[in-house]
Amino acid sequence: MPVNKRKIFNDPVYGFINIPSDLVFDLIEHPYFQRLRRIRQLGLAELVYPGALHTRFHHALGAMHLMGQALNTLRSKGHLIWEAESEAAQVAILLHDIGHGPFSHVLEKTILAGVPHEYLSLELMKDLSRQMDGRLDMAVQMFEGSYPRQFFHQLISSQLDMDRMDYLNRDCFFTGVAEGAIGTDRIIKMLDVVNDQLVIESKGILSIENFLNARRLMYWQVYLHKTSICAEVMLVQAIRRARELAMSGDSVFASPDFSLFLNNTVTMLQFKENPVYLQSFTQIDDYDIWACLKAWTKHPDFVLSTICQRILNRKLYKIRFSDQPFDQNQFQEIHQQLRDQGISDGWHDYFMVLGQSSNAAYVSSKEHILIKMKDGSVCDIANASDLPTIKALSNIVRKYYVCWMKPLTLQS
């Protein structure tokens, strides 16, 4: 490898991250990947945790770093892993998020309805492979799950993948939520492969349990934090309003690439048929949204400008949770508050939003964590030991909420 490609990244989480190969270096240099420098991992969570400004760029590097460590562990336990496989696995995890758009869940809810980021990641990986003479083909297979040795896919995407390992670690580091720390080092040292399945040595059970607990804590404390939900709801409403205005002919500021998505409903079919959408997609990032939010604060439309001003100055909606779905009659007071702020009833659905949050996305009932017992047998973690909390953790919890714009004078 040429000396100039033996780059090292400083990472406050792991100390240093080495670039393992020439190909990885070239991928990191590619504009598709550099774009991830401009997409935050946690969207608007910085409004709650001011340190949470880290990007998907950094996360992807971190996950690649952990992949290298995991593969070293497996090799040290006697599993043969070819150099090409090792590189492919690192490439696949490096690029696993490359299809994320700005504020991803927000955009998925508003503009990219029906087009999951995994699909876009795969398309962009294939595109990169085309640009690089097929050198990413094995990585694509591993990412898709079509590579024969399944455990590679599991390292990329499963309950114990390097994606989760890195993001939990990293999110906990940058938010400062110390309780979310997981024992990544120990978990990785406990990895093994049996019958082509990724497993954990039985003496790592407590670390896994801790990992599941930490993950659960991070969901409620960070990912589904009430203030983050409010900010995200507001952003969704702002974009929804901007689209309506745009589609009804009003002039709405947006960068050319973002404009394409603001003025069209781009389905998966369109992505497939017209490459311009994918190309434009690779041009947009958090800054496009922020530029809009700032410009829209001066838009003549009351709804749009009000919401944007309030996001920018952190005058966020308030939220109330419930274990049951709300009854519409519960909202009389809220409607009255909105009217008192001069908001006519026709606009109420921008300023009062119902929703639900659950940890369903994170608690998988399908995927299992497998434990390798001392006698060499493999069993599901839930059966591996007396771990009452494991079962408890697999409950899906759902919370209903209502967000609304409270008058500013009534802070709470």
Q: Which of 80, 83, 148, 178 binds its own copies (CB under 8 A)?
A: 178
If binding is defined by CB under 8 A, does position 186 make contact with its own copies?
Answer: yes
Q: What backbone torsions phi and psi does residue 403 show, to the nearest 5 degrees?
A: -110, 140
C-alpha dist (Å) from residue 190 to 140, 198, 202, 208, 372: 27, 10, 8, 10, 10
Q: Which of residues 102-141 bind its own copies (CB under 8 A)?
A: none
Q: How big is the chain by its Cα radius of gyration, in Å?
A: 23
Tokens for 326, please give them: 């709300």
* Segment interacting with its own copies (CB under 8 A) among 81-89, 135-143, 204-212, 274-282: 204-212
Q: Smallest gap, in angstroms, from Cβ of residue 171 to its own copies? A: 11
4-63 positions binding its own copies, by CB under 8 A: 4, 6, 8-13, 15-16, 29, 31, 34, 37-38, 46-51, 53-55, 57-58, 61
In the bound complex, what is the minimum distance in angstroms from residue 323's beta carbon to its own copies?
A: 8
Minimum CB separation of residue 387 from its own copies in Å reads: 8
In the complex, the smallest distance separating the C-beta of residue 127 from its own copies, rounded to whole angstroms, is 16
For its own copies, the binding residue among 256, 275, 325, 407 (CB under 8 A) is 256
CA distance linking residue 119 with residue 268, whole number of Å:
9
Near its own copies by CB under 8 A, which window of 90-98, 135-143, 214-222, 241-249?
214-222
Fill in the per-residue mask, 265 to 304: x = in contact with its own copies (CB under 8 A), - = not in contact. Answer: ------------------x---xx-xx--xx--x------
Our CB check for its own copies shows the closer of 207 and 337 to be 207
Q: Are 33 and 93 in contact (CB under 8 A)?
A: no
Least Å from the CB of residue 212 to its own copies: 9
8 Å CB contact between 326 and 354: yes
Separation between Cα atoms, residue 345 and residue 12, nearest integer Å: 50
CB nearer its own copies, residue 146 or residue 395: 395
Q: Is 79 in the site for its own copies (CB under 8 A)?
A: no
Q: CB neighbours (10 Å) of residue 308?
A: 25
Exposure on the CB side of residue 101, measured as CA atoms within 13 A: 27
Residues 6+ apart with CB under 8 A from 224: 357, 359, 399
Which span sits near its own copies by CB under 8 A: 84-92, 114-122, 146-154, 176-184?
Answer: 176-184
The size of the interface with its own copies (CB under 8 A), counted in residues, is 75
Q: Using alpha carbons, list the distances in angstroms from residue 230 to 297, 348, 370.
A: 18, 15, 37
> 189, 73 in Cβ contact below 8 A?
yes
Per-residue mark of binding to its own copies, 351-390 (x: CB under 8 A) = -----------------------------------x-xx-
Task: Indicate the length of the chain as a whole number.
Answer: 412
